[in-house]
Amino acid sequence: MTTTAIVSALLDEQKGLLDQLQHAHKEQRAGRTFWRGQWGDQDVVLVLSRIGKVAAASTATTLIEAFGVGRVVFTGVAGGLGEGVRVGDVVVAEDFVQHDMDSSPLFARYEIPLYGRSRLPCDPSLTALLQQAANAGLAVAGDHFHRERLIAEPRVHRGLVASGDRFVSSAEEAATLRQGLHGAGHIPLAVEMEGAAVAQVCLDYGVPFAAMRTISDRADDQAHVDFSAFVQQVASPYALAIVRELMKLL
């Protein structure tokens, strides 16, 4: 049976998932803790990606090489960059771009050298299931937070996500990022720090990958203020609700 890796960006998020794991046992490798177990009839490995592209790439490589996972699902939070992408919405990634990749003039801005591409695709079938799960999960968890007036009525978006080794925390920085990417034809919905790295590793190995991000901030001057409380109150229950739905669909 295909083993599914669920990679979380944040400890709070992972805690909720870990509670659902049956026959959980942990394994230490590459300085990380991997949790093997069963989720219903699915074989699952849970792990924290840690922060940034290198950490995430190392985590993904270990999952594939040492744990033999056959699909990778990422859950985390992101800053909203796209128009109408609000705090409390969910973005399901169609593909990724590394916003800090720049080998110009040797290669085009954003192009990954020797890959001949700047966009890293997610697996369409797994992504379709994740989107279905996000819609179902949000119908439960999102409605609750909306009624509590923590967020506006949440929506699920699907599209491009930008990754880079920087927490984007000013409106000016977000505008510069957006402008550069738009100029090269990349219109990102959200920005985070790991997805493109995991997508690249999964592409290298031919392992299906899908990713969802709950929007925790608008990558502006308020980004750091919104972050911690949001992760605990909203993003973690979202991740749990969505992964629970996804597990029913696999």
Among 192, 201, 203, 207, binds ligand ADE (CB under 6 A): 192
* Per CB under 6 A, 79 contacts ligand ADE: yes
Q: Check if 89 is active-site.
A: no
Interface with ligand ADE, residue 89, by CB under 6 A = no
Among 87, 93, 151, 168, binds ligand ADE (CB under 6 A): 168
Piece of the chain touching ligand ADE by CB under 6 A; list 16-24, 27-35, 116-124, 190-198 = 190-198
Q: How far is CA 160 from the centre of its chain?
A: 12
Between 51 and 140, CB nearer to ligand ADE: 51
Q: Does 77 bind ligand ADE (CB under 6 A)?
A: yes
The answer to whether 13 is a known catalytic residue is: yes
**Interface residues for ligand ADE in 136-155 (CB under 6 A)?**
none
Catalytic pick among 95, 111, 123, 217: 217
Residue 216 binds to ligand ADE (criterion: CB under 6 A)? yes
Task: Pick between residue 80 and residue 208 the one whose CB is nearest to ligand ADE.
Answer: 80
Tell me which of 10, 90, 136, 223 binds ligand ADE, using CB under 6 A: 223
Whether residue 208 has a cis bond before it, omega within 30° of 0: no
Q: In sequence order, what are the residues at sequence separation of 6 or more whose Cβ sits closer than 8 angstroms to the Cβ of residue 106?
A: 113
Region from 100-108, 125-133, 202-210, 212-220 binding ligand ADE, contact rule CB under 6 A: 212-220
**Is 219 among the residues that bind ligand ADE (CB under 6 A)?**
yes
167 scored as a contact of ligand ADE (CB under 6 A): yes
Residues 6+ apart with CB under 8 A from 127: 92, 93, 94, 158, 210
